[in-house]
């Protein structure tokens, strides 16, 4: 996969994108990451990428000219045209499902916003607008890194065990089950017997039940969309229909 990033702070990507799984993916040639300085597409001596907003107000707005030039120039490079993704608080929520969809693309072009926002006309070039959460960050660089990390680990051959990405939190709509390693007993806390039993069927059932219980306790909203068996849905029916049946007559 090719990932092009457009930013005014390319140096932010140097260290994080060379470490751990991302660094290995790049060395293997599974991920080709190209970080572009937006200022290379400016034409004034100050290399200006922002200006005051029409209508007044605080902050500065990223200008359309360098962003249009950068996106169109990168799209004209050899290879697939690429999916243009703008990182913005107003975007659709980024999720594991979205990560899986992006991992199937041949090329991504990630646009990092800054300042008060991006000139609205730039969004006419976007195939997708994404937000990584309901909070405000200084710019789109950190969200872009989150997207790159989540997408890269889903590419074939990136993880040492391809089953790892299948069992991770959110992949099946649930939080992941608890993990344990040696020693079997630590400060009075003991690894559940079932995990040391060698009975893979019992272990799988225990892990499923633990994942359901953790999700119900911490993120019950996820259960509403998870793929549950009929008996599991019945067990957690109170989360789907919190209104007691006995009170229906008073409605």
DSSP 162: T
> What pLDDT shows up at residue 160?
74
108 φ, ψ (degrees, to nearest 5): -120, 145
Residue of 204, 178, 175, 210 lying closest to 191 (CA atoms): 178
Domains of the chain with bracketed CATH: 2-152 (3.40.1280.10), 185-250 (1.10.1270.20)
Residue 21 confidence (pLDDT) above 90: yes
* pLDDT band at residue 224 under the 50/70/90 scheme: confident
pTM > 0.85: yes
Phi/psi-derived region of residue 229, left when phi > 0, alpha when psi is between -120 and 50, beta in every other case? beta
| 128-158: pLDDT as tens digits | 999 999 999 999 999 999 999 999 999 999 9
Residue of 110, 142, 85 lying closest to 33 (CA atoms): 110
């Amino acid at each position: 996969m090719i990932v092009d990033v457009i930013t005014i702070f390319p140096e932010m990507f140097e260290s994080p994108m060379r470490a751990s799984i991302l660094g290995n993916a790049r060395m293997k040639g599974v991920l080709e990451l190209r970080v572009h300085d937006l200022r290379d597409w400016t034409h004034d001596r100050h290399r200006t990428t922002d200006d005051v907003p029409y209508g007044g107000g605080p902050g500065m707005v990223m200008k359309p000219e360098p962003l249009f030039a950068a996106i169109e120039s990168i799209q004209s490079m050899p290879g697939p045209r690429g999916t243009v993704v703008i990182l913005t608080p107003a975007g659709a929520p980024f999720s594991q499902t979205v990560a899986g969809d992006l991992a199937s693309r041949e090329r991504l072009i990630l646009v990092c916003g800054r300042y008060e926002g991006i000139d609205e006309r730039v969004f006419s070039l976007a195939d997708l607008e994404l937000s990584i959460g309901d909070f405000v960050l200084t710019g789109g660089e950190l969200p872009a890194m989150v997207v790159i990390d989540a997408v890269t680990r889903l590419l074939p051959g990136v993880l040492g065990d391809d089953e790892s990405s299948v069992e991770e939190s959110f992949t099946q709509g649930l939080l992941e089950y608890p993990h344990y390693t040696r020693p079997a007993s630590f400060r009075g806390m003991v690894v559940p017997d079932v995990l040391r039993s060698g009975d893979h069927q019992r272990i799988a059932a225990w892990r499923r039940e633990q994942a359901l219980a953790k999700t119900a306790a911490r993120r019950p909203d996820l259960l509403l969309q998870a793929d549950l068996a009929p008996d599991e849905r019945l067990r957690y029916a109170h989360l789907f229909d919190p209104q007691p049946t006995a009170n229906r007559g008073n409605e």
